[in-house]
Amino acid sequence: MPDTSTESAFARTLAHHSEEVTSPDGRINATVQAGLIKGLSFASGTYTQYTEPELQAQLVQLARLAWVSRERARQAGLRAANGESHEARPRVPVSSAERKLREERDAAQVSVSSANLTITIVGGTRWVVKIKPGTIRKLKEEEFLRELAMLVKRAMGSWRSTMSRLRDKSFGPSEILRDLGRSRTTS
């Protein structure tokens, strides 16, 4: 049976994480909650002042800040699950499977598109945002934010799926999945 107390400590810590991140120009905000990007918004009246390339650059930087926030929350969750109170040093891969996973993660790429936007994530940390020319003139701010939020959700889901597949490839199914598989075969 898996140890659910460490999983609960991780989940609890992640669930309570909430942080506001702001684009470098201070005009776009996002809330990172429970490891997800939520609550995207523009400062009043600023959306239409951007050109598509300017907005792309600000969104890429905002995504990086959100990713850092998400990673901080994830690391805090792992520390809580492992009973550590101090910030641990970055973990150095010790096995060939861990090294291979990091290499594959760094080379992995996911890309999702909508009618007006494309988001690409490379290696988990490099984001590319492309906005179709004319989008800012064509879409109202609310429409743009709705499309962006939907695409961010799809991109992050695709990235999580990619990482899950890479972890399974490197290490096999998690203990929880193995235990579920055993319980189903014995029922």
**pLDDT tens digits along 37-63:** 778 999 999 999 999 999 999 999 999
Residue 175, pLDDT above cutoff 60: no
What mean pLDDT do residues 129-139 have?
98
Q: Which helix (H) or strand (E) holds 131?
A: strand 126-131
What pLDDT does residue 1 have?
45
Q: Is 39 helix (H, G, I), strand (E, B) or coil?
A: strand
Average pLDDT over the chain reads: 85
Which pTM was predicted? 0.78
pLDDT tens profile 74-84: 777 777 777 77
Residue 127, strand partner residues: 121
For residue 20, give the nearest of 60, 58, 62 by alpha carbon: 62
What mean pLDDT do residues 163-186 have?
68
Alpha carbon 171 to its chain centroid, in Å, reads: 22
What mean pLDDT do residues 144-171 have?
91
Range in 55-59, 84-88, 169-173, 179-183 the model is least confident about = 179-183
Which long-range contacts link 78-82 to residues 24+ away (Cβ below 8 Å)? Answer: 78/10, 80/9, 80/10, 80/12, 80/13, 81/6, 81/7, 81/9, 81/10, 81/13, 82/6
Residue 186, pLDDT above cutoff 90: no
Residue 155, pLDDT above cutoff 90: yes
**Domain extent at residue 24:** 4-87+95-186
The residue among 158 and 32 whose pLDDT is bigger is 158
Residue 30, pLDDT above cutoff 80: yes
Residues of the chain with pLDDT > 70, as a percent, come to: 84
What pLDDT does residue 33 have?
81
Q: Are 73 and 35 in contact (CB under 8 A)?
A: yes
pLDDT tens profile 86-129: 665 666 777 888 888 889 999 999 999 999 999 999 998 899 99
Based on the structure, what is the number of domains in the chain?
1
The residue among 148 and 184 whose pLDDT is bigger is 148
Q: Are 123 and 181 in contact (CB under 8 A)?
A: no
